[in-house]
Amino acid sequence: MPLELITRTPGNLVLPDSLPPLVRRIYSQRPLAALTELELKLSQLISPTQLKGIDAAVGLLEAALNNAERLLIVADFDADGATSCALAMTVMRALGCAHIDYIVPNRFEYGYGLTPEIVELAKAKAPDLIITVDNGISSLEGISVAREAGIKTLITDHHLPGRELPAADAIVNPNQPGCEFPSKSIAGVGVIFYVMLALRSRLRESGWFERKNIPEPNLAEQLDLVALGTVADVVALDHNNRILVSEGIKRIRAGRARPGILSLLTLAKRDFTTLAASDLGFAVGPRLNAAGRLDDMSTGIECLLTLSEHEAYEYALKLDGMNKDRRDIEAGMREQAFALVEQLALDADDLPAALSLFDERWHQGVVGIVASRIKERCHRPVIAFALADADDPDSELKGSARSIPGFHIRDALDAVATANPGLVTKFGGHAMAAGLSLSRANFDAFARAFADEATRILSPELLQATIVSDGELAAHELTLSCAEELAAAGPWGQAFPEPLFHGRFKLQQQRRLGENHLKMVLSPLDDEAVIIDAIAFAVSEEDWPEATATEIEVAYRLSINEFRGNRTVQLMVERLLQSH
């Protein structure tokens, strides 16, 4: 679909002259409210005391330690859930908890969250206290069943709550009503990290470590997990999250990450000493997520828990194999989805404002990725559905939703469900991503209602696909030193995006790499003596430059190519805008 190129404009914050000029320019175009947000020190983290429910949560955990109670973690089956679970298990053991275990629901058997079925499964482990990580805020029935069984419950979550909160013994969620914690975008792993910070503080005050003769754990050692879970869950990198991610990345670069993360980086062919946040998002996160998408996330959790380098590598190999299988499944599903979209476009003057897609052949664990790919291509909110039971064509449908700016996907699902009672079985999520279930018989009615809601909310301007650039770079800025300055100015991520530039170049050479990658040699139009390599991955045939093209306009990132010990500047082309 045609793209509109938009150039960012500077804000009003006056930045210090001590910053490199290009970095100062980029920071001026990011959502910085004060100069203090440029400092990423652990001392600047928001205090745990601002979290509603934190005292009740710490009270439950302190009592559990004092009484040697049995604890059970119930985790989500994605990277945020896996890192949250590994962090809680590791820290509670270090604090002296002798009886702690975890369950991660298999998405194909039990679905999401603390369901009544999961509570029944948990009973076999005889827990005194269930702790949810990265889930639980919508688990009304599961919490009720646990209470009836005499099991205490602590919910730690970051997802948006519904109209009613579960009757848990304690809830820590910055998005629950009445919570004044400023960082509403903290990931699930960040929430449980904060709970552990508060618990350690309480235990320190009570003399727990002296009485038990155990060392007080350094919770900074868990920041590799916090960084991974935060980036992989694609939450907004506000100041607090950037501190957590920055400090976690520092630990990984110094080789002080747990063996599982280092093994996953090795298999992804990423150098941990030069790690960027994007490596966590595009190399480690997908491999970890593959376990929850195709099999059982316990493989990923064990990879993060083990202290043995050999065991970690064996787990990482399994995860890498699952990720390759996931990519193969996704490729076929993506082509089928594109064909469905083309059919929709043929049947109407234009695409509807939102897309609901379903195919009996689709894999439940991969529909979220497919929805994301279709959203990127069509710039529409997309929900991709699969059968909950692949062997039963009449089974319930499970959908994964991805949205575009200006359309709060969870609120939209709430509006559809409210206006059409019984249409949606259950739903939950964030502004940009959500999940839902509905009967197969309701699919067509839901697709119409969802598209109608999108039509009501989305203006033509919001449906226009855009690419937002930080402007053009002069020839003297296309250097290794500038690329290094930008890399050091991160971490970059959601809501604090990595710098993206655009410009016209002399196309000196172009050649195909692999199946559909484009390798180019470019020169700025105003200084053809400057020669710079550029690469574009997964270029569609329709976008490929003509063989006779001599000029090209691209949107690109200034990156560093490392090969056999040599570091050179390279343009990582995100979009081919025009060529002639």
**For residue 50, which amino acid is it?**
Q
For tokens 């079925």, the residue is: 117
* Contact (Cβ atoms closer than 8 angstroms) between residue 348 and residue 341: no
Please give the model's pTM, rounded to 2 decimal places.
0.93
Output the CA angle 536-542-548, nearest 5 degrees.
75
Residue 546 predicted with pLDDT over 90: no
* Contact (Cβ atoms closer than 8 angstroms) between residue 569 and residue 480: yes
Confidence (pLDDT) at 544: 83
Residue 347 predicted with pLDDT over 70: no
pLDDT confidence tier of residue 339, bands split at 50, 70 and 90 = confident
Give the C-alpha separation, 263 to 172, whole Å. Answer: 32
Per-residue pLDDT tens over the stretch 156-178: 999 989 889 999 999 999 999 99
Q: What is the per-residue burial (b if ≥16 Cβ within 10 Å, else e) of 269-305? A: ebebeebbbbbbbebbbbbbbbbbbbbbbbbbbbbbb
Q: Across residues 535-549, what is the average pLDDT?
A: 85
pLDDT confidence tier of residue 13, bands split at 50, 70 and 90 = very high
Residue 18 predicted with pLDDT over 80: yes
| Sign (positive or negative) of CA dihedral 360, 363, 368, 369 | negative
Q: What is the per-residue burial (b if ≥16 Cβ within 10 Å, else e) of 41-71? A: eeeebbebeebbbbeebbebbbebbeeebbb
Architecture per CATH, 348-457: Roll (3.10)
Confidence (pLDDT) at 113: 83
Q: Across residues 45-68, what is the average pLDDT?
A: 98
pLDDT confidence tier of residue 349, bands split at 50, 70 and 90 = low
3-state secondary structure of 413: helix
| Domain spans in the chain, listed from the N-terminal domain onward | 4-8+467-579, 44-320, 348-457
Return the percentage of the chain with pLDDT > 90, whole number.
81
CA neighbours within 13 Å on the CB side: how many for 381? Answer: 31
Give the C-alpha separation, 164 to 440, whole Å. Answer: 27
CA 333 to chain centre: 21
Residue 348 predicted with pLDDT over 60: no
CB-CB neighbours of 268 under 10 Å: 16
Confidence (pLDDT) at 92: 98
Confidence (pLDDT) at 1: 62
Per-residue pLDDT tens over the stretch 248-260: 999 999 999 999 9
Top pLDDT among 579 and 486 is at: 486
Question: CATH: 3.40.50.10680, 3.10.105.10, 2.40.50.460, 3.30.70.100. Which one for 4-8+467-579?
Answer: 2.40.50.460
Q: 266-271 long-range contacts, Cβ below 8 Å, gap at least 24? A: 266/313, 266/316, 267/316, 267/317, 267/320, 268/320, 271/562
Axis crossing angle, helix 298-305 with helix 79-94, rounded to the nearest 10: 40
pLDDT confidence tier of residue 292, bands split at 50, 70 and 90 = confident
pLDDT confidence tier of residue 346, bands split at 50, 70 and 90 = low
Which secondary structure element, helix H or strand E, spans residue 415, and what is its range?
helix 409-419
Whole-number average pLDDT of the chain: 93
Residue 120 predicted with pLDDT over 70: yes
Confidence (pLDDT) at 344: 75
Least confident of 224-228, 308-312, 337-341: 337-341
Confidence (pLDDT) at 429: 82
Q: Across residues 35-60, what is the average pLDDT?
A: 97
DSSP letter for each residue of 195-260? HHHHHHHHHHHHTHHHHHT-PPP-GGGGHHHHHHHHHHTT----HHHHHHHHHHHHHHHTT-S-HH
Q: Which CATH class is domain 44-320?
A: alpha beta
Residue 391 predicted with pLDDT over 70: yes
Confidence (pLDDT) at 242: 98
**For residue 484, which amino acid is it?**
E
Residue 266 predicted with pLDDT over 60: yes
Confidence (pLDDT) at 547: 83
